């Protein structure tokens, strides 16, 4: 039994039989995780007992809640599908090659063609062909070379979470930044409080520091990370209010002044609250990859080739299995039988050069 995640071409790592995925390099993600856990661990071990006695027993409880939130969101960001678009099949390439969906003449090779879309807001958007994924990239879709996949609403590839940040995990990423900013500020504030309280009991400030070396270590880590974390959180808040992605902001897509063009962001809903609402609380599509679908070995290709699809075995082409008992984690109950000519089959055709 082969599941779809085992034959997917993107450079992702898959875990738990295709239930979750991360990018290829997760070294920095583990470093981030270690930093968060070690700093919080030191706080719980060395500061919390003293602070709970001296100030209030609720201090460790709140710290634990914030810490668990951070861990939950970092894993959610790192392990969900950012919105990877499935690659085009050979049929689709053939169709695109022959049809006139693009604005370029048919003599131009597919990778050089573009589709121009006239939007009702007056913008003209160019859809370029992705020679790796073999699709015309929809608006806001960008190819991540590290994951080797086209990502919907591509924001950026974040090494700290070891995954791309895109349509499906942007809100988790934002909430991770938000909760981490709070955790950082919380730990830093109570580190200072701890040292100050101890200094009042001791003859000198140096003695207080000597008593609590762990607090000093935590304070140093927090002091250096808080600026970048809070800064990044603020930057993403600004991006969310304007409804642009980091990718668009870096490329300055909606600010570049081109003659005769309105360059206002066409995806903005008009009001920053509405943008926040739609990005953070709006509906989220399920993963397009359907990673846990069972792929049928391509033994019926010959059958299809000879008997060809008349209506009766058009059913064989793709079969939806309603298996209520095999609910995948994203609750797509139907399981796809792969297409006779799709993914696996492509390998048996002479390789096409789309570079």
What positions carry a catalytic annotation?
158
Pair 124, 116: CB distance under 8 Å: yes
Residues 90-149 that bind another protein (CB under 8 A): 90-92, 94-96, 99, 101, 117-121, 125, 127, 135, 138-140
- Give the nearest distance from C-beta 88 to another protein in angstroms: 8
| Binding flag, residue 14, another protein (CB under 8 A) | no
Q: What is the DSSP track for 228-270?
A: HHHHHHHHHHHHHHHT--HHHHHHTTTT---TT---S-TT--S
> CA geometry: angle at 181 spanning 176 and 185, to 5°?
150
| Binding flag, residue 336, another protein (CB under 8 A) | yes
Among 31, 277, 302, 321, binds another protein (CB under 8 A): 277
| Binding flag, residue 285, another protein (CB under 8 A) | yes
80, 63, 74: which is closest to 31 by C-alpha? 74
Q: How many other C-beta atoms lie within 10 A of the C-beta of residue 137?
A: 21
SS3 62: helix
134 backbone dihedrals φ, ψ, rounded to 5°: 60, 45
Q: How many other C-beta atoms lie within 10 A of the C-beta of residue 25?
A: 13
- Give the nearest distance from C-beta 139 to another protein in angstroms: 5
**Closest CB to another protein among residues 190, 254:** 254
- Give the nearest distance from C-beta 344 to another protein in angstroms: 15
**Closest CB to another protein among residues 258, 322:** 322
**Closest CB to another protein among residues 5, 188:** 5
Site map for another protein, 58-87, x if CB under 8 A? ----------xx--xx--x-------xxx-
* Total chain residues near another protein (CB under 8 A): 67
């Amino acid at each position: 039994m082969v599941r779809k995640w085992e034959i997917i071409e993107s450079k992702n790592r898959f875990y738990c039989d295709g239930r979750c995925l991360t990018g290829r390099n997760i070294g920095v993600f583990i470093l981030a995780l270690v930093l968060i856990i070690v700093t919080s661990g030191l706080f719980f071990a060395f500061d919390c007992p003293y602070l709970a006695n001296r100030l209030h027993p609720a201090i460790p409880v709140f710290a634990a809640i914030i810490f668990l939130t951070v861990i939950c969101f970092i894993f959610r960001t790192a392990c969900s599908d950012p919105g990877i678009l499935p690659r085009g099949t050979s049929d689709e390439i053939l169709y695109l090659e022959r049809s006139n969906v693009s604005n370029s003449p048919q003599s131009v090779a597919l990778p050089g063609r573009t589709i121009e879309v006239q939007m009702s807001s007056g913008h003209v958007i160019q859809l370029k062909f992705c020679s790796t994924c073999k699709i015309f990239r929809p608006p806001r879709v960008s190819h991540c070379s590290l994951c080797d996949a086209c990502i919907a609403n591509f924001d950026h590839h974040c090494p700290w979470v070891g995954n791309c940040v895109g349509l499906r995990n942007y809100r988790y990423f934002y909430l991770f930044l938000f909760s981490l900013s709070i955790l950082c500020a919380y730990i830093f504030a109570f580190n200072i409080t701890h040292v100050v309280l101890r200094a009042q009991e001791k003859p000198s400030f140096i003695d207080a520091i000597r008593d609590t070396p762990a607090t000093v270590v935590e304070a140093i880590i927090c002091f250096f990370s808080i600026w970048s974390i809070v800064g990044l959180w603020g930057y993403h808040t600004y991006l969310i209010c304007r409804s642009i992605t980091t990718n668009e902001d870096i490329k300055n897509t909606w600010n570049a002044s081109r003659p005769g063009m309105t360059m206002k962001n066409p995806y903005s809903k008009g009001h920053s609250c509405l943008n926040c609402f739609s990005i953070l609380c709006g509906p989220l599509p399920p993963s397009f990859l359907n990673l846990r679908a069972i792929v049928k070995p391509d033994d019926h290709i010959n059958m299809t080739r000879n008997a060809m699809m008349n209506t009766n075995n058009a059913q064989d082409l793709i079969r939806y299995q309603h298996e209520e008992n095999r609910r995948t984690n994203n609750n797509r109950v139907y399981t796809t039988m792969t297409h006779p000519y799709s993914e696996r089959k492509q390998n048996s055709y002479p390789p096409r050069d789309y570079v």
